[in-house]
Amino acid sequence: MTDLEALVGLNKICDIGTIRLRKLLGYFDKPENILKASKEKLLAVSGIAGNIANQIHSVKKEDIDREFDLAKRYNLKILTVYDKEYPWNLKNIPDPPIVIYVKGNLKEEDKFSIAIVGSRRASFYGLASAERFAAELSCCGFTIVSGMARGIDTYAHKGAIKQGNRTIAVMGCGLKHIYPPENKEVIEEIAGKGAVISEFPMDALPLRQNFPRRNRVISGLSLGVLVVEAARNSGALITADFALEQGREVFALPGKVDSRTSFGTNGLIKQGAKLVSCVDDVLEEFNLPAVKINQPCEPAKEIKYDSEKSQGLSCQEALLLHNLVYDQPLALDEIVEQTNLSVISVLDVLLKLQMKKLVRQLPGKQFIRMPNEQ
């Protein structure tokens, strides 16, 4: 068994990260020896409890072989934290992933990366800002990093793609899965102009507990994190916390004081994050003479919500539909707040979307996006 195979096997154990791996390697010297060790010897290592030892023993060679077969089928590269190609920024955080799966290509220039993150149910202002900042920063030589989630993340990736520049998407699931499902085409575009990466084994589902782990990778790849919109308990704030722990810069776009999606960003500014109103505010924070403008940056175009689901819809219909998700109903007042439309306009648009069978009303004046709209 090669070191790569052994590390891929160990990476399938969610309780083993690089910190425990270092302890195990200090005792057993080689990754292969860890998988071959007896339970008694494993328990002799500090931090290795009985449940972890049992998980190590449960790793089978056929499971590892299947992982490599899947990676080959999906045209992925597998890098370990000990490989030269492994991203330099990510390697230098306290707990980098043992293994990352890569669709596309990572490059040396990705050292100059900045993350743009924010709310899944963003306002038009937030989406337009994410796309504009991503477009302009990518034209200044930065690779744009984000999490491929609906909302801000997706439009940050699109901003770089539209300029023909690099972007990296960090997934919270195995690369066998596409999440969110409507971003299949965007993922292919990202892989063509950068990379889609994940630390999770191929079969890993997009479970809620995966996303905080994913967020530390987003900040770890980047020199700084720009939070565009975030509610009070947004995952984007977790990314900002990781950025601070990793010694990265944190930037925040201010928003309306009465907007739910601005609570998080305005709070970050209160706590000392740099307030950003234009790209120059980000650039002046970095003393990076090697960063230069790659090409003239075309102004970010007005967002038209051009996914398949928006074809044939009016601007207001597309905006409202974009703010609804399949698994979490939204109350009428939440929709009004997120879209910045009047109550009358929202009710009118909701009725049209219900007639088109794209939205369903639930008890208590709550609305949900219809799954068959995909």
Indicate whether 373 pLDDT > 60: no
Q: What is the pLDDT of residue 328?
A: 73
Who's near 301: CB < 8 A, 6+ residues apart?
A: 162
Who's near 350: CB < 8 A, 6+ residues apart?
A: 320, 335, 359, 361, 367
Mark out the alpha helices in 275-342 (DSSP H runs): 279-283, 315-322, 332-339
Indicate whether 213 pLDDT > 50: yes
Query: Residue type at 28?
Result: F
Q: What is the pLDDT of residue 243?
A: 94
Q: Are 128 and 154 in contact (CB under 8 A)?
A: no
Q: Which residue has the higher pLDDT, 21 or 144?
A: 144
Q: Which residue has the tokens 């999906």?
A: 74
Indicate whether 244 pLDDT > 90: yes
Least confident of 80-94, 163-177, 358-372: 358-372
Query: Residue type at 85?
Result: E
* Mean pLDDT, rounded, for 247-254: 94
Q: What is the mean pLDDT of the chain?
A: 86
Least confident of 31-40, 107-116, 273-282, 361-370: 361-370
Q: Are 214 and 220 in contact (CB under 8 A)?
A: no
Domains detected in the chain = 3-73 (1.10.150), 103-283 (3.40.50.450), 308-373 (1.10.10.10)
Least confident of 92-106, 208-222, 329-343: 329-343
Beta carbons within 10 angstroms of residue 210's beta carbon: 20
Beta carbons within 10 angstroms of residue 134's beta carbon: 31
Indicate whether 297 pLDDT > 70: no
Least confident of 14-18, 145-149, 193-197: 14-18
Q: Are 130 and 261 in contact (CB under 8 A)?
A: no
Indicate whether 194 pLDDT > 70: yes
Indicate whether 295 pLDDT > 60: no
Q: What is the pLDDT of residue 289?
A: 39
pLDDT band, residue 287 (cuts 50/70/90): low
Angle, CA of 360, 308 and 154, to the nearest 5°: 90
Q: How far, CA to CA in Å, does 36 sit from each of 19, 28, 32, 98, 342?
A: 20, 10, 7, 19, 65
Q: Which residue has the tokens 């200044």?
A: 140
pLDDT band, residue 326 (cuts 50/70/90): low
Most confident of 224-228, 343-347, 348-352: 224-228
One DSSP character per residue, 90-116 reads: HHTSSS--SEEEEEE---GGGGSEEEE
Indicate whether 154 pLDDT > 60: yes
